[in-house]
Amino acid sequence: MKVYALGGYEEVGKNMTAIEVDKKVLILDMGIRLDRIMISEDTNLQDTSTKELNRIGAIPDIAPLKRKKVVGVVVSHGHLDHIGAIARLARRFKCPILGKPYPLKLVASILKEERKPMPNPLFEVQDSSVTIGPFDIRILPVTHSIPQAGCVVVSTSEGDVFFTGDYKLDNHQRLQKPLKFSELKKLDIKILITDSTNVQNEGITPSEKVARTLVSDYMGMIEDSDKGIVTSTFSSQVERILTIIDEAERIGRKPVLVGKSLCKYYGLALEMGIIDKPVQMIRKRDALESTLREINKKKDEYVVLATGSQGEQDAILSRITDRKLPYTFGKDDTVIFSASVVPNPLNMAARYRLETKLKMQDVRVVKNLHVSGHASREEHRKMIRTLSPDYVLPCHGAPDMLMSMAELCNEEGYAIGSQALVMRNGQSISI
């Protein structure tokens, strides 16, 4: 078996790994790295050529797969760092894209947005396994921060591969049941390819239940206020959005979703029956202005959920703050960020700018009512011990994160270099 590290081995972003058995290749995820697009000032995704995206390091370099027989692309979940390059790269391979329904619907919507028809068929994987060439593929539901995330198990004649995708071990999510550890114990894993993003955090990542409590307690604090409340989280964090909606209703206000991406992720989850709580959603420009004008007249009747938790300049929250939309912040209005700042200098600067502008308008800024979607060190230890793989390949991280994962493996008895494998983008290894 040969394993290719193609993206996500030097950064958090543009994730892509491939495995080769019997001269057939299966690709696991095909993501994009958005900060590389953000730094190039005039670059916008739709108008940038695939060649240019490759040059600036925004998508994985697929050169190592040249002349290889690729039989399928499996997506672990619907975040852009896992599916965002499909519209650009998948057409090079005449093969299906496989995944759970929600991420596949997101793939289809990106293709529409980028106006890219795609020859590859989309194939939904349900509970049972799917066989393509020498690969028998299963997707096990796992908790993360977007609906229908999964760990991918690939059985082959040369042993089994366990690809975690992004995960945390959370026993208290409303939209996703915990990973079944009894099932995992039965597997005979040759290689574990694992998310390393938060391995440097000691202990375990707090449950989504904690985020629910944080949001609920704060909403309780301002329950009797007659001022405006605007909240923002990651648009794909559907469970969190649901929490904010519930809390808004609990304090007697009407929740309204404002912004294209927020409505896209929530609307899709509604349409697919993942959630069953319809709310008012504003995505079109003309409706946006008139609705915000209405809300502005009776701020105390609404909780606005807006896009822009990272301070993105074209998102709703920044546009309100910059007085480009007819909702005006006033003294003692509250803006709640139920999201962390993605730790890169661009996001940090954008968020700093936004928060400062809000404070200059006497708005109360509430931050970090949030928990991460990525496992911490002890969750990873549990995964390694349960699966007891022959090899571990850390992925989804900058080199220091991958090294920290290798160190954890070393604590668990794996030799760094020969059993805990630290790879860079573009490298491959035969095991």
Residues that bind Zn ion (CB under 5 A): 79, 81, 166
> In terms of CB distance, is 88 or 190 closer to Zn ion?
88
Q: How far is the CB of 356 from Zn ion (least distance, A)?
A: 29
Closer to Zn ion by Cβ: residue 83 or 363: 83
Q: Closest distance between Zn ion and the C-beta of residue 374, in Å?
A: 8
Nearer to Zn ion, 83 or 292 (CB): 83
**How far apart are CB 31 and Zn ion at their closest, in Å?**
7
Nearest-approach distance from CB 396 to Zn ion, in angstroms: 6
- Closest to Zn ion by CB, 29 vs 247, is 29
Question: In the bound complex, what is the minimum distance in angstroms from residue 365's beta carbon to Zn ion?
Answer: 26
The total of other beta-carbon atoms located within 10 Å of residue 148's CB is 25
Q: How far is the CB of 311 from Zn ion (least distance, A)?
A: 20
Q: Which residues contact 196 (CB under 8 A, 6 or more apart)?
A: 380, 394, 395, 396, 397, 401, 402, 404, 405
Q: How far is CA 422 from CA 84, 163, 258, 377, 396, in A?
A: 24, 15, 43, 17, 12
CB of 33 to Zn ion, least distance (A): 11
Query: How far apart are CB 96 and Zn ion at their closest, in Å?
Result: 22
| Closer of 145 and 155 to Zn ion (Cβ) | 145
Q: Is 284 exposed, middle or buried (0-12, 13-18, 19+ CB in 10 A)?
A: exposed
Beta carbon nearer to Zn ion, 72 or 165 = 165
> Which residue lies nearer to Zn ion by CB, 75 or 279?
75
Q: Which is nearer to Zn ion, 53 or 288 (CB)?
A: 53
Judged by beta carbon, residue 81 or residue 379, the one nearer Zn ion is: 81
Q: CA nearest 241: which of 210, 271, 275?
A: 275
- Which tokens sit at 321? 């703050």
How near is the Cβ of 166 to Zn ion at its closest, in Å? 3
The residue among 345, 357, 399 whose CA lies nearest residue 38 is 345
